[in-house]
């Protein structure tokens, strides 16, 4: 609510039609007519209303007399896809009072829905390139003191595995190649 005052300052509250501006959506190649309501102030006097269309001026217009916002179907192209803020300025004035209000709504111009592909993490092991047999069993192998069993310290998503050795472990004869 705005304070009551004298000349050149607001004397009423923001009109309901200006408070209730709603966002609009239009598809490329379609028409849109949007009327926010009758442009009256809270005392029932007609207001002078102007709209600032911003970049939407290329494909839309505002009719001050009827208080109607229009989007023309033949003027929208795929490059117009996006959001546009439409500013509305309303003013009532006479010899005694001058009141100004502003509001805005968003115009969304859209085309076919954007398909979002779900991201899946890459498989760290590309099996078609793995030449060795893949062990399906998760059973522990029998303990053999001549064959140390290293444990996995880390495994990255790209398939780089770091193994750790215990102090009691003895490396096999050819430890540069582990099957």
- Report if residue 154 sits inside a domain: no
Report if residue 23 sits inside a domain: yes
Q: What is the pLDDT of residues 74-117, one digit of tens each?
A: 888 888 888 999 999 999 888 888 889 999 999 999 887 655 66
Return mean pLDDT, the chain.
78
Alpha-carbon span 48 to 51, nearest angstrom: 10
Q: Which residues are bridge partners to 32 per DSSP?
A: 71
Q: Give the number of domains in the chain.
A: 1
Domain residue limits at 38: 16-110
Residue 150 within any structural domain of the chain: no
CATH number assigned to the domain comprising residue 85: 2.60.40.10
Residue 151 lies in a domain: no
SS (H, E, C) 83-136: EEEEEEEEEEECCCCEEEEEEEEEEEEECCCCCCCCCCCCCCCCHHHCCCCCCC
Contact yes or no for 104/86 (Cβ under 8 A)? yes
- Per residue in 14-67, pLDDT tens? 888 888 998 998 888 888 989 888 888 888 888 999 999 999 999 999 998 888
Residue 80 lies in a domain: yes
Residue 59 in domain: yes
- As given in the structure block, the two tokens for residue 97 are 């009072």
Residue 153 lies in a domain: no
Q: Using 50, 70 and 90 to split pLDDT, how confident is the model at 163? A: confident
Determine, yes or no, domain membership for 84.
Answer: yes
């Amino acid at each position: 609510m705005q304070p009551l005052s004298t000349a050149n300052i607001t004397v009423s509250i923001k009109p309901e039609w200006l408070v209730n501006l709603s966002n609009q959506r239009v598809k490329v190649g379609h028409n849109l007519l949007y009327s926010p309501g009758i442009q009256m102030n809270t005392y029932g006097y007609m207001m002078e209303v102007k709209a600032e269309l911003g970049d939407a001026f290329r494909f839309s217009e505002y009719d001050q007399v009827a208080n109607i916002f229009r989007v023309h179907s033949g003027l929208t192209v795929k490059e117009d896809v996006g959001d546009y803020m439409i500013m509305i300025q309303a003013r009532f004035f006479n010899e005694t009072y001058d009141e100004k209000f502003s509001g805005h709504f968003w115009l969304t111009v859209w085309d076919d829905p954007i398909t979002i592909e779900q991201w899946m993490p890459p498989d760290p092991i590309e099996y078609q390139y793995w030449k060795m047999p893949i062990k399906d069993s998760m059973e522990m192998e029998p303990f053999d003191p001549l064959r140390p069993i290293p444990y996995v310290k880390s495994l990255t998503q790209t398939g780089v595995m770091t193994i750790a050795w215990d102090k009691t472990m003895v490396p096999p004869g050819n430890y540069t190649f582990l099957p």
